[in-house]
Amino acid sequence: MTTTPELSREERDAAMVERYADGETLDAIGQSFGVTRERVRQIIAKVGGTSAEESRKSRLVSREAAASAARNAFMAEYGDLARQMAKRGVTRPEAIDKLKALFPMMDAELAEDALRTSSIVFDKSQMDDIFSKEVLAAGVWYLLGSDLGLAPDREWAAINIELSLITELRAVLESAEATAEDVSTILGVIGAAQKHIAENPGASITTSRYHQLRGELITALGLVSRQGAFLWPPTGQTLMKRFGGWNECLVAMGIGTATKGRPKGLVKFNREDYDQAVSDYCLFASETGAKSTIIGYDAWVKTEIIGGQKRPSGASLRNFYGSWSDALRAVQG
C-alpha cells in the first residue's frame, strides 16, 4: 500500500534512489510505495542511482553502526559488572548466564556479541580444574621419562600406578583419539619415570624442557581433542597455577627441583611493579590500536628498556601471575 501519495513521480523516484543509496532493500522500498521490488529496481536503474553492490555496502555499514551502538549501550549498563566477574575467574558464558538470571530483560545474544568483542579478559576455560592433580602430575612424569629416554615399564606401572589414575588418564587420551597402544606406551613411560626417580632422586626436568617436549609430543602423536585443543599433558602455566609454582609441583611429586632461582621474580620487582607494567602496556596498546598480547608486551618492554625504564619480562609475568590472561584480569578495571 502506498504510504507517500503526496509525492510527485519525480519526487518519488528521487526518494527511492536516496533510500536505496542509504542501504534500504528493494523490497522495503517497494512496500513503502506500493510497487514491486522489480519496479523499484527499474526506476533506480533509469534514474542512474546507486548500484546493488554499493547499496549492499551501505546496508552493512548501517547494520554495523547499529550493532556497535547496541554493544556500547550494553557495556554502559553491564560492563562494570562483567569486569568484576571476570576478575573473579568467571568465564564469558557463566557471566552471561548470571546476568540473564538477575536481569531477565537482558538480550543474551547481544551480551555474547558485546562481551566477545570487548577488552574484558575472561577465563576461557577452567582447564586447571578439569583434571585431578594426579593426572596433571602424570604429564610431568611422562615427559620426564621421555626426556630421559626411558623405555616403557608396563610391569612396574601395573603394580604401582593406581587404577583411578589409569582410568582417568585413559579417558583423557581416548577423548583425543589416542590408540590403545599410545595409552599403553604413555602409562608405561610414566611407570618407568617413577621407578627411575625412586632409584635416582637427583633427576629432574626444567619448565622450558617440559614445554619443548610437550609440543613435540602433540605433533608426533597428532592428538587433538574433540574440543579442538590438546589438554594433556597440561601446560606449564596450568601446573604452576595448580601447584603454586614449577618447583612446588616437582616437590609435591617427590622430584628434585630443577633450579632454585628466586621465587616468582619478587626480588627484582614487587607486586606493584608487575601490575603497573601490565597496566602501562595495556594503555599503550589501547592508544596505538593494538591488541594486548604477550608478544606485544615483550616488544614494548624492549622499547622501555631503551628509554631507561626497567620492566619485568613476559616470562616473569607468566611466572608471577600464572598466565598472560591472568595478568590482564588482575589489572583490568
Query: What pLDDT score does 5 carry?
Result: 54
Which has more confidence, 41 or 147? 147
Instruction: Calculate mean pLDDT across residues 102-129.
Output: 78
**CA dist list (Å): 128 to 32, 88, 125, 300:** 58, 15, 8, 30
Q: By mean pLDDT, which of 142-156, 160-174, 274-288, 309-323 is the weakest?
A: 309-323
pLDDT, tens only, 215-245: 777 666 665 544 444 568 887 877 887 888 8
In angstroms, the CA 310 to CA 304 distance is 7
Phi, psi for 296 (deg, rounded to 5)? -65, -35
Express each pLDDT in 286-300 by its tens digit. Answer: 888 888 888 889 889
CA gap 251, 242 in Å, rounded: 13
272 vs 187, which has greater pLDDT? 187
Phi, psi dihedrals of residue 46, rounded to the nearest 5°: -65, -40
* Cell numbers found for residue 132: 585431578
pTM, entire model: 0.45
